[in-house]
């Protein structure tokens, strides 16, 4: 008799356990269904033709991230086609704003037909990189001092003192051979807030160089400058001797560099009287001008008066990078 009672208890406990499991399973299923009803996407919502209804936020984010892999496009930089001499225009890329798209899907009304929220990713090299820069935009009263340095270390401290006193930041284009001799001076100029840029690894004639040598002229000097100042300099290239042709500009452009020339040449390397240098600048001053100079004695003697004249006319002296940014 006791054995029968024991067996009945076991059976009863077993069925109770099964009932609890079944009820729990039904409850859990119902709970998940309620979650989808309360927190999921509304009925009939579609994103780029894909049905999204009843998906929970984490599931929506995963689905959007997968779609983004298909819809996103990398930008294509402009380039120079050597065989034809043609400049191939840049193409902007396309990115997907995943968070904004998820929010849009979750907020959508029943039956909504939605698209991914996208944004343009601009190319870093545009077709303008394949034309030399003679001046910046003319819609703002901004001007740049471009100081080429392959010699003249004796005059640089005086130039820097004047620039500091007048609150001016210039762009210094450095020759690599000079940089190797005076790395500490490059560091000091950078620390003073001036822009460091590329004047070539050595002062050779670019027009006489092969494409490979032109690349070396630019790339190795960039590496040299980066190693000294602890960061990549802006991609601005002032070719030695001011020499340029389509191939020089194309090589620089394909490397992501703007080829920087000038609007006003002080011709100070001939060391004329300071008054002549001043007159060459003030007679031609205009918005967007790039003023080319070198560290010479007459340049130092003329510099403060040039800055006073320029600022007195309401112009702001900025780096070349800042000058060019105004056109974007």
Coil vs helix vs strand at 321: helix
Cα 325 from Cα 140, distance rounded (Å): 11
pLDDT band at 24 (very low <50, low <70, confident <90, very high): very low
Whether residue 14 is predicted with pLDDT greater than 90 in this model: the reply is no
CB atoms within 10 A of CB 41: 26
pLDDT at position 22 is: 43
pLDDT at position 327 is: 52
Coil vs helix vs strand at 79: strand
> What domains can be seen in the chain, in order of their start residue?
42-127 (no CATH), 131-325 (3.20.20.370)
pLDDT band at 53 (very low <50, low <70, confident <90, very high): confident
pLDDT at position 107 is: 94
Residues linked to residue 264 through DSSP beta bridges, in sequence order: 291
pLDDT at position 33 is: 63
pLDDT at position 71 is: 95
Whether residue 200 is predicted with pLDDT greater than 70 in this model: the reply is yes
pLDDT at position 138 is: 94
Nearest-5° Cα angle at 280, 276 to 283:
125
Cα 88 from Cα 84, distance rounded (Å): 10
pLDDT at position 80 is: 86
pLDDT at position 83 is: 73
Report how far apart, in Å, the C-alpha atoms of 285 and of each of 57, 184, 266, 278 are.
Answer: 60, 33, 12, 11
Burial class of 283 by CB neighbour count within 10 A (0 to 12, 13 to 18, 19+): exposed
Better-scored residue on pLDDT, 84 or 165: 165
Burial class of 36 by CB neighbour count within 10 A (0 to 12, 13 to 18, 19+): middle
Cα 246 from Cα 254, distance rounded (Å): 12
pLDDT at position 78 is: 93
pLDDT at position 29 is: 52
pLDDT band at 170 (very low <50, low <70, confident <90, very high): very high
pLDDT band at 19 (very low <50, low <70, confident <90, very high): very low
Cα 75 from Cα 276, distance rounded (Å): 48
Whether residue 56 is predicted with pLDDT greater than 50 in this model: the reply is yes
pLDDT at position 5 is: 52
Whether residue 17 is predicted with pLDDT greater than 80 in this model: the reply is no
pLDDT at position 9 is: 59
Write out the DSSP string of 251-290: HHHHTT-EEB--SEE--GGG---HHHHHHHHHTT--TTBE
8 A C-beta contact, residue 198 and residue 149: no
8 A C-beta contact, residue 122 and residue 143: no
> What does the pLDDT look like over 85-132, one tens digit per residue?
888 899 999 999 999 999 999 999 999 999 999 999 999 999 999 999
Cα 10 from Cα 5, distance rounded (Å): 9
pLDDT band at 8 (very low <50, low <70, confident <90, very high): low
Better-scored residue on pLDDT, 293 or 33: 293
> What does the pLDDT look like over 237-285, one tens digit per residue?
999 999 999 999 999 999 999 999 999 999 999 999 999 999 999 999 9
pLDDT at position 149 is: 98
pLDDT at position 34 is: 61
Share of the chain above pLDDT 70, in %: 88
């Amino acid at each position: 008799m006791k054995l029968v009672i024991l067996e009945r208890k076991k059976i009863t406990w077993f069925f109770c356990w099964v009932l609890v499991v079944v009820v729990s399973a039904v409850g859990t299923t119902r709970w998940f269904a309620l979650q989808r009803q309360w927190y999921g996407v509304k009925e009939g919502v579609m994103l780029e033709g894909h049905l999204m209804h009843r998906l929970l936020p984490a599931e929506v984010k995963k689905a959007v991230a997968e779609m983004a892999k298909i819809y996103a496009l990398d930008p294509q930089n402009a380039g120079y086609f050597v065989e034809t001499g043609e400049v191939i225009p840049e193409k902007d890329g396309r990115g997907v704003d995943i968070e904004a798209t998820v929010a849009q899907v979750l907020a959508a009304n029943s039956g909504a037909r939605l698209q991914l929220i996208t944004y343009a990713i601009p190319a870093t090299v545009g077709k303008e990189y394949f034309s030399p820069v003679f001046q910046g935009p003319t819609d703002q009263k901004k001007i740049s001092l471009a100081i080429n340095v392959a010699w003249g270390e004796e005059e640089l401290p005086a130039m820097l003192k004047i620039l500091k006193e007048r609150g001016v930041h210039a762009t210094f284009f450095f020759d690599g051979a000079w940089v190797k001799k005076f790395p500490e001076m490059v560091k000091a100029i950078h620390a003073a807030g001036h822009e460091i840029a590329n004047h070539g690894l050595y002062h050779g004639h670019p027009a006489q160089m092969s494409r490979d040598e032109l690349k070396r002229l630019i790339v190795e000097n960039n590496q040299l400058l980066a190693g000294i100042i602890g960061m990549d300099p802006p991609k601005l290239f002032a070719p030695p001797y001011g020499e340029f042709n389509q191939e020089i500009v194309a090589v620089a452009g394909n490397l992501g560099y703007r080829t920087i020339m000038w609007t006003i040449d002080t011709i100070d390397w001939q060391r004329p009287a300071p008054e002549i240098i001043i007159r060459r600048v003030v007679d031609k001053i205009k918005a967007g001008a790039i003023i080319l100079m070198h560290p010479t004695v007459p340049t130092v003697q003329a510099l403060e008066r040039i800055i006073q004249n320029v600022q007195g006319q309401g112009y702001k002296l900025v780096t070349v990078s800042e000058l060019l940014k105004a056109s974007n």
